[in-house]
A and B are shown apart, each in its own frame.
Chain A
Amino acid sequence: MVIVLGIESTAHTFGVGLVRDEAPYIISDVRENYLPEKGGIHPREAALFFMDRAPQAIAKALKSSSLSIESINAIAVALGPGLGPCLRVGATIARALATYFNKPLVPVNHAVAHIEIGKLVTNAKDPLVVYLSGGNTLIAALISGRYRIFGETLDIALGNFMDTFVREVGLAPPYVVNGVHQLDRCAEKGRKILNLPYVVKGQDVSFSGLLTAALRMYREGRADLEDICYTVREIAYSAIVEVAERGLAHTGKNEVLVVGGVAASKYLREKFELMTKSRNCELYVVPPKYAVDNGVMIAWTGLLNLKHGITIEPEEAYVKQRWRLDQVDIPWSK
């Protein structure tokens, strides 16, 4: 049996996961979430928070599984993409653990990890991947050894867009209440479609124009906030589903896997259900627990990497803030 410890620290979550290569795979899952009192993530503050919580989190993960660090086969760490100060905390700890306990160090791409944990928990086999989070909005599929990107945002990510909008109109923080984003909540009372820009360029989406126009409409008091929320939600989600549909037509895949923190929205899910049904495709949505950042996904992808001989020397394990999904070789694809 192979056991891997994984460390996630790309943004607001310091996560430690333990996985093994036999069912039920997931052994331990500890998460420490940095919650800013106001505004968005402050990278330095998040990093300080991680430094404070990291030792206990690692100890807790080991203790809850009754494993000693000696019985672990490798240390995996998310080296990117993410916020530099946050990434460096996880990377430093992982390098230290690997060196001190003489374990192989496994580099993991955070985006690949979101997809691989999604495949593990949903049983999707060869899906078109729709990755939606605070920092990422892209449509990808595994073709010839890499996740190829078929469409993405040309400016801001869907999650970033939603958070910024609700913050600027005074609905947040908190951004998510009882698992429902403030945008979805506010949109529930809206009915009217207003004149705001719906931008799909080929297979790409763009949200910055919609954000500016929606905020201007709100500030000028030209419409009810509920209707603005409704229009914004309808436009943003529909544009994503539309480019996903193009991706399906393009790649000929017959599964869709929605991963990342924004996957939790039931309204987005409804739209995906309607689209996939009309094309006779299967829809898989990663459950919220594993859709958000966590250490388990890093450990799991680390395990896959380890089995295909992908390790890194600690002195070479630099963080990569802009490590694109399509730069990573996926040896387990064939």
Chain B
Amino acid sequence: MIYPGLNKLGKVIYVGAEAILILGEFLDIKSIYKIRLPKPYRDPNLDLLVRSSRTKSEARIILLARSVGINVPAILLVDVDLALIIMEYIEGQLLRDLLNNLNHEIACKLIHNVGAQVAKMHKAGIVHGDLTTSNMIYSNGKVYIIDFGLAKMSNALEDRGVDIHLFLRSLESVHFNIKDLLFKCFIEGYEKILGSKAKEEVLAKVREIRLRGRYVEERRLRREELP
């Protein structure tokens, strides 16, 4: 298969279960090629349907997120038939790697901003679905939110709660020394956009989610924590 502009560069930087990420150059812009590869176990027609509809949905959500002021990579090209999204490569550091080395005040400021961005996202009806500090990049003074592969349109309190719960858990697992401070900063940023009523509702939901066994125990075993 020929992907536009990929003949020059092409370093695979990530292989997931569903998609691969290739670093390339598109229109002289350093770009990420996100390609959902065909799965041999799916009926070819079904496979095409699944990959193209997910590609379409992800691209739409990223565009919507950008239009409501969230820092996301710019989409450069979408080819639904190839299940390909070409987007701007955000050069920077993963928040996961950066946070523990910052002083508390700066870390709080960044996370406060993340909280505000997540609130804007929720306000626009988007839930991210995999909201961890591994999916945030610090670049030129701004925090970008990446990987909308599991994102969907939803206004359900449950889905928003899961977003915030996932984020809280990523703080607990990777930034355990400053998790309480960071979560406080996050929630302040969230409240600033959505107000105190929405904040209280979503926090109550997060508590409920955490009390359900499955989210407390096994689902915290993310990639980085596995033995």
Check if B156 is an interface residue, CB within 8 A of chain A.
no
Instruction: Report B185-211 residues with CB < 8 Å from chain A CB.
Output: none
Q: Are B43 and A143 in contact (CB-based, < 8 A)?
A: no
Contacting pair B226 A238 (CB below 8 A):
no
**In the assembled complex, A149 has its CB within 8 A of some CB on chain B:** yes
B69 in the interface, Cβ–Cβ < 8 Å? no
Residue in contact with B46 in the complex, picked from A143, A235, A248, A274, CB distance below 8 Å: A235
Q: Contact at B49–A193, with CB atoms within 8 Å? A: yes
Residues 143-169 of A contacting B (Cβ, < 8 Å)? 143-144, 146, 148-150, 152
Q: Is the interface of A mostly helix, strand, loop or mixed?
A: helix
How big is chain B's contact interface, by range? 20 to 34
Residues of B within 8 A of A275 (CB): 39-41
Residues of A within 8 A of B39 (CB): 238, 241-242, 245, 275
Contact between chains at A274 and B218 (CB < 8 Å): no
Closest to A271 in B: B41
Tell me if A282 counts as interface (CB < 8 A to partner B): no
Q: Does A178 contact B (CB under 8 A)?
A: no
Contact with A193, one of B18, B40, B45 (Cβ below 8 angstroms): B45
Q: Is the CB of B218 within 8 A of A326?
A: yes
In the complex, the chain B residue whose C-beta lies closest to that of A230 is B43
Q: Which residues of B contact A222 (CB under 8 A)?
A: none
Tell whether A24 is near chain B: CB-to-CB under 8 Å: no
Closest residue of chain B to A200 (Cβ to Cβ) is: B50
Would you call A148 and B221 a contact (CB within 8 A)?
A: yes
Set of chain B residues within 8 Å of A278, measured between Cβ atoms: 40
CB distance from B162 to the nearest CB of A (A): 9
Instruction: Mark A119-161 against chain B: 1 for CB-CB distance below 8 A, else 0.
Output: 0000000000000000000000001101011101000000000
Q: Is the CB of B42 within 8 A of A238?
A: yes
A202-B214 CB under 8 A given contacts A143-B221, A193-B49, A251-B226 = no
Measured in the bound complex, the distance between the Cα atoms of B41 and A231 in whole Å is: 14
- List residues of chain A with CB within 8 A of the CB of B43: 193, 234, 238
**Nearest residue, chain A, Cβ from B130:** A202
CB-CB nearest in chain A for B162: A202
A71 within 8 A of B: no
Structural contact, A149 and B227, CB atoms closer than 8 A: no
Minimal Cβ-Cβ distance residue in B for A195: B49
Shortest CB–CB separation between residue A162 and chain B, in angstroms?
17
Q: In this assembly, does A198 line the interface, its C-beta being within 8 Å of a C-beta of chain B?
A: yes
User: Is B213's CB within 8 Å of the partner chain A?
Assistant: yes
Given the complex, which residues of A lie within 8 Å of B227, measured CB to CB?
A: 143-144
| 19 sampled A-B residue pairs with Cβ under 8 A | A143-B226, A146-B218, A149-B214, A152-B214, A193-B43, A193-B46, A198-B46, A198-B50, A202-B129, A202-B130, A235-B46, A238-B39, A238-B42, A241-B41, A242-B17, A245-B17, A245-B39, A249-B17, A271-B42
Which 7 A-B residue pairs are closest in the complex by CB-CB distance?
A148-B218, A271-B41, A249-B17, A274-B41, A193-B45, A246-B17, A274-B40
- Enumerate chain A interface residues (CB-CB to B < 8 A): 143-144, 146, 148-150, 152, 193, 198, 201-202, 231, 234-235, 238, 241-242, 245-246, 248-252, 270-272, 274-275, 278, 324, 326-327
B interface residues (Cβ-Cβ under 8 A, vs A): 16-18, 39-43, 45-46, 49-50, 129-130, 150, 213-214, 217-219, 221-223, 226-227
